[in-house]
Amino acid sequence: MEKAINRQKLLLDHLRPISSAKQNFDASLSASSCIAGDSSAYQRSCVYGDDVVIVAAYRTALCKSKRGGFKDTYPDDLLAPVLRALIEKTNLNPSEVGDIVVGTVLAPGSQRASECRMAAFYAGFPETVPIRTVNRQCSSGLQAIADVAAAIKAGFIDIGIGAGLESMTINPMTWEGSVNPRVKDFSHAQNCLLPMGVTSENVAHRFNVTRQEQDQAAVESHLRAAAATASGKFNDEIIPINTKIVDPKSGEEKPVTIYVDDGIRPNATLSELAKLKPVFKKNGTTTAGNSSQVSDGAGAVLLMKRSVAVCKGLPVLGVFRTFAAVGVDPAIMGIGPVVAIPAAVKAAGLELDDIDLFEINEAFASQFVYCRKKLDLDPEKINVNGGAIALGHPLGATGARCVATMLHEMKRRGKDCRFGVVSMCIGTGMGAAAVFERGDAVDDISNARKVEANRFLSKDAQ
């Protein structure tokens, strides 16, 4: 302790004004013992430097399951290229990554965990870098990013990757085994088993979302996605994947490079969608045309403490601010964003009007339209480059895809776009949302925590 006090005295001598006599020096500036110990007086924790930031975010193209560009691609071969891109494009030493978390839904847990570990090796990560999977259904990719952000904030790691992966070609949505008969005694438990399309019909019926509103939302999704593709907006976020297409009749393999989302219909019209029949309910309103596409794809996001990014000279694409997951009635699971978005925005100290851009997953047009109307959001702020109806919804990858798409769009918009929200509904009745800030919109002063005056040189000596 005496050593620390001597250091403080030396520092105070340097701070003393030359013109001041020693006896007239402010008595409040005197050396004192530090409760936190000898070394703590020289440890500082800068709130701004402790921000969790995103320095890179990439995805594959999204392709129609069973008949799209990735129908003959192994899941690990979807994940590996986006993991590798994070390292190659930032020149980061892969051994510095503290953890990789992959959101994924449909594959058996142990099998997908092994595939993700294999993908990390394909991507060039050493055996010392751990990896795990997380499953919160449609929000799994966003949950993976939130888990990594939380680990960085807690000090467990300084650098991590949140990713998402789904091959709905290889792992279709099916229930395996029998259902516990107890489910009949709990209405909410029963509703967890409802087909997602039925929950869409429930939302449309309960909240009076018309068929025309749903079809109009679907048309807008396709037209916006087509415009974004044509103008090259997705080029910065999509990593081309070298793979193969197998002819189902001859078995002939053809090498291909996939770099364009293949579910977009540039010529979609209301009259065309109006011809489609309801899928889940007679006289219903949910069709294949106003629902998200079943897809294959992957995405990955590189996060780190801001001070680490600064030391490495990496540009900050975005700042992770807050995350919220909420529960809602499983029978109308699509309303999840209506509850999750305000929760996440409030946690960030913001109002809905402060948000400049939204990526809300279009699981079904019924729930998307309802959420937009209920929250009274400006349509020009939501899914400006299209959504899952046009691009596709590979369940575990969607969160990572949405984050990549939004952050790159925020970067393009510059000072006119500071805050963005990614949100989605979740099967069995939940919603999730996260708030992000554009990377170059932050400065030390506006994010510095106010420190009350005291006599201690260590913040821990309270």
Query: Residues 238-265: what's their mean pLDDT?
Result: 96
**225: pLDDT strictly greater than 70:** yes
Q: Please, are residues 462 and 456 in contact by the beta-carbon 8 Å criterion?
A: yes
Which numeric CATH code is attached to 52-170+186-437? 3.40.47.10
Instruction: Break the chain into its structural domains and give their ranges.
Output: 2-43, 52-170+186-437
Name the one residue in this structure whose structure tokens are 């776009």: 417
Kindly report, residue by residue over 351-408, the tens digit of the pLDDT.
999 999 999 999 999 999 999 999 999 999 999 999 999 999 999 999 999 999 999 9
How high does pLDDT run on average in the chain?
A: 90
Query: Residues 138-163: what's their mean pLDDT?
Result: 98
Give the pairing of strands 318-327 and 430-438.
antiparallel
Confidence of residue 176 (pLDDT cuts 50, 70, 90): confident
Kindly report, residue by residue over 327-344, the tens digit of the pLDDT.
999 999 999 999 999 999
What integer pLDDT is reported at residue 458 of this predicted model? Answer: 40
What integer pLDDT is reported at residue 121 of this predicted model? Answer: 98
What integer pLDDT is reported at residue 57 of this predicted model? Answer: 98
Catalytic residues: 138, 393, 425
In terms of Cβ atoms closer than 10 Å to its own Cβ (0-12, 13-18, 19+), residue 436 is buried
Tokens of 182: 């107890």
Select the more confidently predicted residue: 102 or 44.
102
